[in-house]
Amino acid sequence: MKDKQQLEQLLRSFYLSGFVQHYDDFAKRAEKEKLGCLKYLHQLAQAESDLRHNRRIERLLLQAKLPRGKTLDGFDLSEQPSLSLVHLRELAEGDCLDHCENILIFGIPGTGKTHLSTALGRAWCLHGRRVLYTTAATLVQDLLTAKRDLLLNQFIKKLDRYEALIIDDISYIPHSRDETDVLFVLLAERYEKRSVVVTSNLAFSGWESIFKDPMTTRAAIDRLIHHSTILELNGTDEESYRQKEATRRKRSRHHNDPPELTKH
Ligand code: ADP
Ligand code: MG
């Protein structure tokens, strides 16, 4: 008993919690199956490695602050005939992050921009990539706070840690020049250094309302599209996915309604 306690203490001091969890079970099994020391050690090391991998993914998912429950498997491609599954799977692999490519997702409200950007972010986390999801409105406020505290550079450097920064709803319109400026500084800083995923209800032709003057607008668009993939979510018709879901729900409710009682 004392031996076990000392062993566990040692393993813990080396941060080998996978060993602590499994050494006893595995030893019993190894003895029963006559596996030998090497095989036993190998299995333990593998369990430790799996545990660390899973913990890392959990940490990455937590840090990414992604909206919950949106996956690529849950994205109905029949609603978006312009997208190809092969292409989406390729993007989800994450090689685009190695090349600092951007992904720009356009579409009217309710066509799945947040869903798709989140699903890609999730897939990248599962591949061990560092991702951060934020809305443009929150990001601009965070950038402004950092600027006010003379910490803008540090804040942007902190964001550099993330291989993909998802900026949802860039078409939210900043109110002041200051807001536009910090957003532009961030995009310029990440250019060819780190990937950005941007979603927008507005086509490029409407972006002057975001960046205020034609020069800044052009400079921002130029940097974003230089190495980029553009995904247009226009759907099969004018109805958004939310509206279709509501119609489907209504229909199935009617379908399940008890038959109306007729008065006699
Ligand atoms: P947007 O960001 O374009 O306004 P969302 O991504 O918020 O749209 O989508 C609205 C709702 O419809 C969400 O619940 C989303 O999961 C769902 N949705 C949209 N498009 C699809 C799709 N192609 N497949 C599955 N769910 C979808
Ligand atoms: Mg959205």
CATH number at residue 129: 3.40.50.300
Residue nearest to atom 26 of ligand 1 (CA): 75
Residue 166, phi then psi, degrees to nearest 5? -95, 115
Residues 83 and 186 in one domain: yes
Same domain for 114 and 225, yes or no, is yes
Q: Which ligand is nearest to the CA of 88?
A: 1
Residue 264 has pLDDT above 50, yes or no: no
Residue 9: domain span: 2-63
- 184-188, 194-198, 208-212, 219-223: segment of lowest average pLDDT: 208-212
Tokens representing 31 are: 């003895």
Instruction: Assess whether 123 and 188 both reside in one domain.
Output: yes
Give the whole-number percent of the chain exceeding pLDDT 70: 89
Confidence band, pLDDT 50/70/90 cuts, at residue 254: low
Which residues are in the CB-under-5-Å shell of ion ligand 2?
A: 113-114
Q: Are residues 115 and 226 in the same domain?
A: yes
Ligand in closest contact with the CA of 68: 1
Same structural domain, 55 and 106: no
Do 52 and 83 lie in one domain? The reply is: no
pLDDT for the residue numbered 261: 40
The ligand 1 atom at the shortest distance from the C-alpha of residue 80 is 23
Q: How far is residue 29 CA from its own chain's centroid?
A: 40
**Which parts of the chain are beta strand (E)?**
102-106, 131-135, 164-168, 195-200, 228-232
Residue ending a domain, among 42, 63, 84, is 63
Share of the chain above pLDDT 90, in %: 78
User: Are 194 and 80 found together in one domain?
Assistant: yes
pTM of the predicted model, to two decimals? 0.86
Same domain, 132 and 183: yes
> Does residue 248 belong to any structural domain of this protein?
no
Using one digit for the tens of pLDDT, what is the confidence trace for 64-110? Answer: 999 999 999 999 998 888 899 999 999 999 999 999 999 999 999 99
Helices (H) then strands (E): counts for the chain? 12, 5
Q: How far is CA 71 from CA 115, 121, 124, 227, 262, in A?
A: 7, 9, 11, 25, 46
> What band does 29 get if pLDDT is binned at 50, 70 and 90?
very high
Give me ligand 2 centre to Cα 137, in Å: 12
Query: For the segment 142-177, what is each residue's pLDDT rounded down to a tens digit?
Result: 999 999 999 999 999 999 999 999 999 998 877 788
Per the structure, how many domains does the chain have?
2
Question: What is the DSSP pairing of strand 164-168 with strand 228-232?
Answer: unpaired
Q: Would you say residue 50 has pLDDT above 50?
A: yes
Residues 161 and 128 in one domain: yes
Residue 250 has pLDDT above 80, yes or no: no
Examine the domain organization and report whether 76 and 57 are in the same domain. Answer: no
Q: Which residues approach ligand 1 with their CB closer than 6 A? A: 70, 74-76, 79-80, 107, 109-115, 241-242
| Residue 254, in any domain of the structure | no
Indicate whether 221 belongs to any domain.
yes
Both 59 and 78 in one domain: the answer is: no
Going by pLDDT thresholds of 50, 70 and 90, the confidence category of residue 260 is very low
Centre of ligand 2 from the C-alpha of residue 115, in Å: 7
Instruction: Clarify whether residues 121 and 46 are in a common domain.
Output: no
